């Protein structure tokens, strides 16, 4: 009998969720290709809607996968995770910074606003902005895999200044009765 944690790792949905970051990165590449070389004719709407549906389904499968324990992820865990975490320090920083509202909102404004660029130079700028999402997905999946060794998650309960010792507050003296 398998536990609930392992149920999401098998079958088609589990494999889709496991490979969802790679599928999302490939679909962003497909969106960029479609943006630079659009498909015209009766298939244009079908291709665009199909790609949007695939991206949304892949994102949902990735989120479902991340909430469980995947046997494939466990077997692919590196033998030297602390060394890898030191190597991917920038990705951890991007993952934590990308969760802050003061950075997410301007990024989304630029990401959405770049869709309105119609000149050839504007479309190249749009492609560069869209490509940044590939790095964000890569940073997120690396962080998820190596989270126990992330310096921002490990120190200060996550999100604090790196390198500072956690401060334990002094007990607040008050008029409390102690039970003996």
Which DSSP string do the residues of the chain spell out, in sequence order?
Answer: ---HHHHTTSHHHHHHHHTHHHHHHHHHHHHHHHHHS---STHHHHHHHHHHHHHHHHHHHHHHHHTS--HHHHHT--S-HHHHHHHTHHHHHHHHHTTSHHHHHHHHHHHHHGGG--SHHHHHHHHHHHHHHHHHHHHHHHHHHTGGG-HHHHSTTTTS-TTPPPPPPPPPP-S-PPP-
pLDDT for 9 equals 52
Answer whether 156's CB lies under 8 Å from 164's CB.
Answer: yes
Residues 6+ apart with CB under 8 A from 39: 47, 48
Q: What is the pTM of this model?
A: 0.72
Tell me the backbone φ, ψ of residue 175, rounded to 5 degrees: -95, 65
Report in angstroms the alpha-carbon separations of 14 from 22, 54, 57, 164. Answer: 14, 15, 12, 39
Tokens 């590196």 belong to residue: 78
Q: Which residues of the chain have pLDDT under 70?
A: 1-10, 155-180
pLDDT at 1: 41
| Residues in CB range of 35: below 8 A, 6 or more apart | 123, 126, 127, 130
Determine the pLDDT at residue 77.
82
Which pLDDT belongs to residue 8? 45
pLDDT of residue 172: 52
Sign of CA dihedral 151, 152, 155, 157: negative
């Amino acid at each position: 009998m398998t536990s609930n944690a392992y149920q999401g790792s098998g079958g088609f949905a589990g494999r889709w969720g496991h490979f969802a970051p790679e599928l999302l990165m490939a679909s962003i590449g497909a969106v960029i290709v479609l943006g630079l070389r659009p498909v015209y004719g009766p298939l244009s709407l079908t291709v665009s809607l199909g790609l949007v549906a695939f991206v949304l389904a892949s994102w949902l499968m990735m989120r479902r996968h991340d909430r469980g324990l995947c046997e494939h992820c466990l077997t692919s865990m590196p033998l030297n995770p602390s060394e890898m975490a030191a190597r991917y320090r920038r990705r951890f920083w991007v993952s934590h910074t990308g969760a802050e509202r003061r950075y997410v909102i301007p990024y989304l404004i630029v990401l959405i606003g770049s869709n309105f660029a119609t000149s050839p130079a504007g479309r190249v700028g749009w492609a560069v902005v869209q490509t940044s999402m590939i790095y964000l997905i890569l940073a997120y999946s690396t962080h998820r895999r190596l989270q126990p060794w992330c310096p921002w998650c490990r120190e200060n309960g996550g999100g604090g200044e790196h390198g500072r010792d956690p401060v334990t507050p002094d007990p607040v003296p008050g008029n409390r009765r102690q039970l003996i």
